């Protein structure tokens, strides 16, 4: 292991630990700017999480250990996924043939426990949220796999690091159509998996229409803090995947590349903020159609590179 | 002499014999009381399991193939039996699951409380195990068919254990009809094989050419006959009702092992051929995709816990077929990596599914025992009274969804990597692999949805009905086998490197082409150590976070309250989300295959509307909408032939005699 890999690994872990809530702050600021407000400070999500971690907890009397395990497993799985995904032009700390499958299935494991924890409360609202999450995530899964197949074919490799770092402007020149379709499909998946508008409104307070927020209604205190942080980390990790596709900048200088990565992530947050400002939430029955549409886009891109 | 006695093959043969005899003590009620006899037969079965497992493991380690000839004077010559790594791999599950089920039965089907059918159940359990073991040991067509029928018939008596119940009887009859339709195909298969190979003895691996039309006929017959037993999608109709109506530990053996014997038959038959055309592999792959996706979609719509698990067996057989399809396509495309990954993924999934599905069926048995119902929507909050069962069932649920760090993930990873190898190629093979991988992802997503539903509705929340509140934790005889299976799920998931070498050796015995490229270890294609490492990392992180959270909870104030009812003041347990409501969105998305029947309430009108009700039900659409109308028409059209069937035994003997005479004359002409 050379010096540079140690440094890169340290920066990777440091960014994964520290940066995720900032994305939420940037999204909030962008939305505020569109609405003509000053908005909460960029660091507000950090304050919120720290405040929650210091609070006490109220548990529902119906709940069992599964309810307590939900947030913990969600955070642990997202954290391991964060080690598998390369940030910018750098290899990820853990990389092996087949790690893309682990990446996808880790999120599924986290979801398994989040949804079970929601059902553990016995509340019909949380059951509703859990059912919606289950349905929509099923439909998002094939899109991700079409994307992985296209990337694997383009790079001839079987690990996330090689697949994603391989994308460059040269690859875009040769396979522009396929990659453009993928960017479309994956952006939909990014928004759906992170429960952003137009799929879900993280700010709404009407339980009947929510997905992610309604599943965690009964969580409080440190557990809720963990959930908030894990959600931010998930946005960060899936965002890093998307940024590779859409903004494949690389200079060759490792330190400049880290800077570029941070800037790209912030750009992504601004774009999400803009989408949230100019769009309304979709009706629930329209969501499956949009997700299937994304799958078809990704399938086209696969066919374009396979033919 | 002693050395020969403990040779792997002698251990396996004696285990088979011991299993066949394990039910005998119960047949002498005047010598032994039922409870003691049951204990004795369980001990015999456990001994058979231990001997069989030891033999199987030893022969996988040694990797040698042996062949025995049993000279007898039946018309078709002597019977041949043998052990090779493929047989030994299947023997692992054939001896593991029935052994666990036998111990479980001590508490679940105790002789004192089930006097009327415990004899039948125990006797046929042993016989079925022996039958399955003989199927994988048989090395010629005739012995194979004998063993096959022994297994199939014993299973019939097990499905109809409680035959005083009309529903059980119906399930048994359906099983009987379908299993014999499948056997009919096998009766045609082996003579054709004899024609092609020139002997009843199974031909050597890769010795027959797959290009002749006769080979294609054999392929179709194998797909039909063995696919029927394995429960592949359009042929699965017997499976849900048989699994739901058999005693739970019998369902565990049927779902875990019998279906796999069908898979074994297909793998064995395919191994005879070389030069396999692309469409064989595509056929198997497409069947796998259909079974996987449609099987799990049906599972989501079920309210009966055991029917739901049965549909998941169809899904998992689909995943196994996908692996086989990859291996076959790899053979055509000349890609050793695809062959190795697909075949070892399929074989590992065979073992994995046996383990976690048996675990889930045994867990379901405990739940049904405690709540007195199979209806998921009547249960709820079972985890409070059955904490250990809940934990073990949870392990099984995570494993069957193919989630890390358990065993299901490893086998699905191998199959996925087979697909990813495939897409680097050219033409049809690449396209097939590229379309199958997202289908497997969809299956995985749907399985997660389904098991969250099962786990959440059955074990979590509060009991939905007073009368079906779970009462007691299962006895140790029920928990111990489940614990063993759960530990195996975790062990294979965390240390897949332990089985990698055996998988490779087993794959080599069925894929002759791989032998030429022997320098390709599975470990190089799939970094097993990295799977272990990431699994351990995940568990370590969970442990650290749990410790931190536990400390946090101790320091900060911690209150208790009712679940937040969104302002509603009188929430009741019946208002919890039910299994049907959880599945509603997905069943309506898949309505075009599931054909769900919703009985909506009458129009609710007026100030004081009358009572109303709603229920939804996902029927076995393939059986009810395809087969039954078809068979009804056949029944009407072919009524003339029915006169041949008089129900008089003498008449049938006469038919046999006439047939024999005709055949004799034909041979002189």
Q: Is the pLDDT of residue A208 over 80?
A: no
- Chain B CB contacts of A144 under 8 Å are 441
Q: Is B417 an interface residue toward A (CB < 8 Å)? A: yes
Query: Does residue B501 surpass a pLDDT of 70?
Result: yes
Alpha-carbon gap: B491 to the closest alpha carbon of chain A (Å): 18
Touching check for A190 and chain B: CB below 8 Å? no
Range of the domain at A123: 3-306
Q: What is the mean pLDDT of residues B384-402?
A: 94
CA B351 centroid distance within chain? 10
**CB atoms < 10 A from the CB of B281, how many?**
27
Per-residue pLDDT, A84: 94
Beta-carbon contacts of B535 under 8 Å, excluding residues fewer than 6 positions away, are B404, B405, B493, B494
CA–CA gap between residue B605 and residue B434 (Å, rounded): 53
Q: Cβ–Cβ of B558/A121 closer than 8 Å?
A: no
pTM, to two decimals: 0.95
pLDDT exceeds cutoff 70 at A222: yes
Q: Do B448 and A125 touch (CB under 8 A)?
A: no
pLDDT at B60 over 80: yes
pLDDT surpassing 90 at residue B29: no
Our CA angle for B180, B629, B645, nearest 5°, is: 45
Judged by a CB distance cut-off of 8 A, whether residue A226 touches chain B is yes
User: In chain B, which residues have their Cβ closer than 8 Å to the Cβ of A125?
Assistant: 566
State percent of chain A over pLDDT 70: 98
**For residue B235, pLDDT beyond 70:** yes
Bridge partners (DSSP) of residue B82 are B67
Q: Which ipTM value was assigned to this complex? A: 0.95
Which of B326, B291, B418 is closest to A98 using CA atoms?
B418
Q: If you ran DSSP here, which 8-state letter would residue B70 be given?
A: E
Question: Which residue on chain A is closest to B455 by alpha carbon?
Answer: A116
> Which letter, b or e, does each residue of B428-442 get, where b requires 16 or more Cβ atoms within 10 Å of its Cβ?
ebbbbbbbbbbbbbb
The dihedrals phi and psi of A93, each to the nearest 5 degrees, come to: -60, -40
Distance from CA of B241 to the nearest CA of A (A): 27
Q: What does residue B37 show for φ and ψ, rounded to 5 degrees? A: -65, -40
Asked if B566 has any chain A CB less than 8 Å from its own CB, the reply is yes
Q: Report DSSP state, residue B25.
A: G
Backbone phi, then psi, for B375, in 5-degree steps?
Answer: -75, 115
Confidence of residue B598 (pLDDT cuts 50, 70, 90): confident
Task: At A80, list the tokens.
Answer: 């391991």
Chain B contact for A135, CB < 8 A? yes
Interface check B420 vs A, CB under 8 A:
yes
Least confident piece of the model among A221-230, B218-227, B629-638: B629-638
Tell me if A116 and B562 make a contact (CB, 8 A cut-off). Answer: no
In which region does residue B526 sit, left (phi positive, over 0), alpha (psi from -120 to 50) or beta (all else)?
beta
What was the pLDDT predicted at B70? 79
For range B394-412, the mean pLDDT: 94
> Where residue A307 falls among pLDDT bands split at 50, 70, 90?
confident
**By the 8 A CB rule, do A268 and A239 touch?**
yes
The whole-number pLDDT of residue B3 equals 52
Subunit contact A60:B562, Cβ cutoff 8 A: yes
Check residues A149 and B508 and name the one with the higher pLDDT.
Answer: A149
**Which pLDDT score, from 0 to 100, does residue B2 have?**
45
Please compute Rg for chain A using Cα positions.
19
Supply the pLDDT for residue B519.
62
User: B389 vs chain A: nearest CA distance in angstroms?
Assistant: 14
Structure-model confidence comparison of residues A210 and B449, the more confident one: B449
B-chain residues within 8 Å CB-CB of A299? 435, 438
Average pLDDT over residues A52-73: 92
Q: What is the model's pLDDT at position B622?
A: 85
Is B437 within 8 Å of A66 when comparing Cβ atoms? no
Residue by residue, DSSP assigns B312-381 as HHHHHHHHHHHHHHHHHHHHHHT-HHHHHHHHHHHHHHHHHHHHHHHHHHHHHHHHHHHHS--BGGG---
pLDDT in tens, B263-289: 999 999 999 998 889 999 999 999 999
Flag if B413 and A101 touch (Cβ within 8 Å): yes
What is the rounded CA–CA span in Å between residue B12 and residue A74?
45
Nearest to A306 among B431, B533, B584 (CB): B431
State the average pLDDT for chain A. 90
pLDDT band at B62 (very low <50, low <70, confident <90, very high): confident
Confidence of residue B1 (pLDDT cuts 50, 70, 90): very low
Task: With H, G, I as helix, E, B as strand and everything else as coil, classify residue B615.
Answer: strand
pLDDT of residue B350: 96
| Integer Cα distance of B330 and B336 in angstroms | 7
Tell me the average pLDDT across B480-497.
94
| Banded model confidence at residue B189, pLDDT cuts 50, 70, 90 | very high
pLDDT band with cut points at 50, 70 and 90 for residue B136: very high
**Hey, of B566, B571, B586, B592, which one would you mutate to test binding to chain A, going by the most A CBs within 10 A of its CB?**
B566
Residue A119 pLDDT exceeds 80: yes
Task: Select the residue of A96, A97, A135 nearest B449 (Cβ to Cβ).
Answer: A135
pLDDT at B358 exceeding the cut of 80: yes
Instruction: Please tell me if residue B549 touches chain A, with a CB cutoff of 8 Å.
Output: yes
For the record, the structure tokens of B657 come out as: 């005699």
Distance CA A201, CA A198 (A): 7
What does the pLDDT read at residue A204? 67
Residue A292 contacts B, CB cutoff 8 Å: no
Give the integer Cα–Cα distance in Å for B610 and B612. Answer: 6
* Torsion of the alpha carbons at B634, B638, B642 and B643, rounded to the nearest 10: 170
Element (H, E) at B599: strand B597-599
Domain count within chain A? 1
Report domain extents, chain B: 580-600+614-668
Whether chain A has a CB inside 8 Å of the CB on B383: the answer is yes
Contact B244, B171 (CB under 8 A): yes
Q: Which residue has the higher pLDDT, B462 or B1?
A: B462
What's the pLDDT band for B158 if we cut at 50, 70, 90? very high
In the predicted model, is pLDDT for residue B515 greater than 70?
no
Q: What is the pLDDT of residues B308-356, one digit of tens each?
A: 999 999 999 999 999 999 999 998 888 888 999 999 999 999 999 999 9
Cβ within 8 Å, pair B545-A226: yes
Q: With beta carbons under 8 A apart, name residues in chain B contacting A53.
A: 552
Contacts of B384 in chain A (CB under 8 A): 64
Which of B288-297, B329-338, B375-384, B570-579: highest mean pLDDT? Answer: B288-297
Task: Express as a percent the part of chain B with pLDDT over 90.
Answer: 57
Tell me the DSSP string of B453-517: HHIIIIISS--S-STT----PPPHHHHHHHHHHHHHHHHHHH-THHHHHHHHHHHHHH-HHHHHT
Model pLDDT for residues A7-18, shown as the tens digit of each residue: 889 999 999 999
Contacts of A138 in chain B (CB under 8 A): 442, 445-446, 448-449, 586
Lookup: tokens for B177? 């009809």
In Å, the largest CA–CA distance within chain B is 97
Per-residue model confidence (pLDDT) at position B329: 93
* Mean pLDDT (whole number) for B511-537: 79
Q: What is the DSSP letter of A285?
A: G
What pLDDT sits at residue A171?
A: 85
- Distance, CA of A91 to CA of A163 (rounded, Å): 10
A283 backbone φψ class: left, alpha, beta (φ>0; ψ -120 to 50): beta
Q: How many residues does chain A have?
A: 307
């Amino acid at each position: 292991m050379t010096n540079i890999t140690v440094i890169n690994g340290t920066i990777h872990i440091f960014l994964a630990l520290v940066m995720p809530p900032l994305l939420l702050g940037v999204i909030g600021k962008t939305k505020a700017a569109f609405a003509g407000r000053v908005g909460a400070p960029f660091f507000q999500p950090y304050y919120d999480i720290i405040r929650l971690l210091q609070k006490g907890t109220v548990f529902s009397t119906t709940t069992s250990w599964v309810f307590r395990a939900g947030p913990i497993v969600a955070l642990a799985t997202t954290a391991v996924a964060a080690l598998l995904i390369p940030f910018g032009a750098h290899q990820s700390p853990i990389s092996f043939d087949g790690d893309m499958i682990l990446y996808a299935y880790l999120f599924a494991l986290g979801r398994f426990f989040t949804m079970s924890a929601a059902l553990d409360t016995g509340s019909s609202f949380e059951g509703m949220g859990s059912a919606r999450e289950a349905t929509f995530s099923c439909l998002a899964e094939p899109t991700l796999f079409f994307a992985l197949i296209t990337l694997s074919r383009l790079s001839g490799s079987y690990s996330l690091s090689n697949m994603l770092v391989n994308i460059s402007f040269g690859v875009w020149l040769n396979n522009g159509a396929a990659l453009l379709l993928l960017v479309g499909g994956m952006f939909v998946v990014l928004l759906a998996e992170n429960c952003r508008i137009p799929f879900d409104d993280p700010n709404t307070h009407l339980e009947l229409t929510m997905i992610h927020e309604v599943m965690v209604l009964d969580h409080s205190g440190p557990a809720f803090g963990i959930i908030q942080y894990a959600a931010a980390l998930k946005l960060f990790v899936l965002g890093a995947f998307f940024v590779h596709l859409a903004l494949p900048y690389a200079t060759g200088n490792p330190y400049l590349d880290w800077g570029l990565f941070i800037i790209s992530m912030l750009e992504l947050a601004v774009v999400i903020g803009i989408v949230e400002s100019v769009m309304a939430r979709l009706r629930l029955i329209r969501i499956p159609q949009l997700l299937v549409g994304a799958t078809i886009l990704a399938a086209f891109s696969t066919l374009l590179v396979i033919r | 002499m002693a050395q020969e006695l403990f040779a792997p093959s002698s251990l396996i043969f004696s285990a088979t014999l011991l299993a066949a005899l394990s039910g005998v003590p119960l047949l002498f009620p005047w010598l032994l009381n039922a409870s003691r006899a049951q204990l004795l037969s369980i001990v015999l079965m456990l001994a058979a399991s231990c001997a069989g497992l030891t033999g199987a493991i030893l022969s996988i380690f040694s990797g040698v193939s042996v062949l025995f000839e049993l000279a007898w004077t039946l018309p078709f010559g002597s019977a041949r039996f043998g052990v090779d790594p493929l047989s030994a791999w299947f023997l692992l599950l054939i001896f593991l699951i029935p052994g666990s089920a036998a111990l479980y039965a001590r508490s679940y089907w105790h002789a004192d409380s089930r006097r009327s059918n415990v004899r039948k159940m125990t006797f046929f359990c042993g016989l079925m195990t022996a039958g399955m073991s003989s199927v994988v040991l048989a090395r010629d067509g005739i012995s194979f068919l004998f063993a096959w029928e022994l297994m199939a018939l014993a299973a019939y008596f097990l499905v109809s254990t409680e035959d005083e119940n009309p529903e059980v009887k119906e399930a048994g009859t359906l099983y009987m009809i379908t299993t014999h339709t499948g056997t009919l195909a096998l009766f045609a298969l082996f003579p054709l094989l004899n024609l092609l190979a020139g002997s009843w003895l199974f031909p050597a691996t890769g010795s027959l050419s797959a290009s002749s039309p006769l080979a294609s006929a054999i392929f179709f017959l194998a797909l039909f006959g063995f696919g029927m037993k394995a429960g592949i999608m359009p042929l699965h109709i017997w499976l849900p009702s048989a699994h739901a109506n058999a005693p739970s530990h019998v369902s565990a053996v049927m779902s875990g092992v019998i279906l796999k014997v069908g898979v074994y038959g297909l793998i064995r038959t395919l191994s005879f051929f070389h030069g396999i055309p692309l469409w064989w592999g595509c056929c198997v792959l497409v069947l796998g995709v259909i079974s996987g996706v449609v099987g799990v979609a049906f599972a989501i719509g079920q309210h009966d816990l055991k029917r739901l698990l049965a549909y998941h067996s169809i899904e998992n057989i689909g995943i196994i077929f996908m692996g086989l399809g990859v291996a076959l396509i790899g053979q055509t495309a000349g890609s050793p990596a695809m062959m190795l990954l697909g075949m070892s993924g399929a074989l590992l999934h065979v073992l994995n599914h046996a383990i976690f599905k048996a675990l889930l069926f045994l867990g379901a048995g405990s739940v049904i025992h405690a709540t007195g119902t199979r209806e998921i929507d009547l249960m709820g909050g079972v985890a409070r009274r059955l904490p250990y069962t809940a934990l073990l069932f949870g392990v099984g649920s995570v494993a069957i969804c193919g989630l890390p760090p358990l065993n299901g993930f490893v086998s699905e990873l191998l199959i996925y990597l087979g697909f990813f190898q495939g897409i680097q190629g050219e033409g049809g093979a690449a396209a097939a692999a590229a379309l199958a991988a997202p289908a497997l992802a969809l299956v995985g997503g749907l399985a997660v949805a389904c098991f969250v539903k099962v786990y959440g509705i059955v074990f979590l929340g509060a009991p939905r009905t007073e009368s079906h509140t779970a009462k007691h934790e299962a006895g140790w005889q029920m928990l111990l086998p489940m614990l063993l299976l759960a530990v195996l799920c975790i062990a294979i998931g965390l240390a897949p490197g332990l089985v990698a070498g055996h998988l490779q050796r087993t794959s080599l015995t069925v894929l002759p082409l791989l032998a030429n490229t022997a320098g390709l270890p599975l470990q190089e294609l799939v970094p097993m150590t990295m799977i272990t490492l990431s699994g351990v990392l995940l568990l370590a992180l969970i442990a650290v976070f749990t410790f931190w959270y536990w400390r946090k909870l101790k320091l900060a104030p911690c209150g208790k309250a009712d679940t937040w009812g969104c302002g509603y003041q009188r929430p009741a347990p019946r208002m919890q989300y039910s299994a049907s409501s959880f599945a509603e969105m997905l069943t309506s998305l898949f309505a075009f295959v599931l054909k769900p029947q919703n009985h909506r309430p009458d129009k609710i009108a007026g100030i004081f509307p009358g009572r109303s009700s709603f229920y939804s039900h996902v029927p076995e659409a393939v059986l009810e909408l395809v087969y039954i109308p078809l068979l009804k028409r056949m029944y009407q059209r072919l009524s003339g032939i029915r006169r041949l069937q008089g129900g008089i035994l003498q008449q049938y003997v006469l038919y046999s005699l006439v047939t024999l005479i005709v055949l004799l004359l034909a041979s002189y002409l």
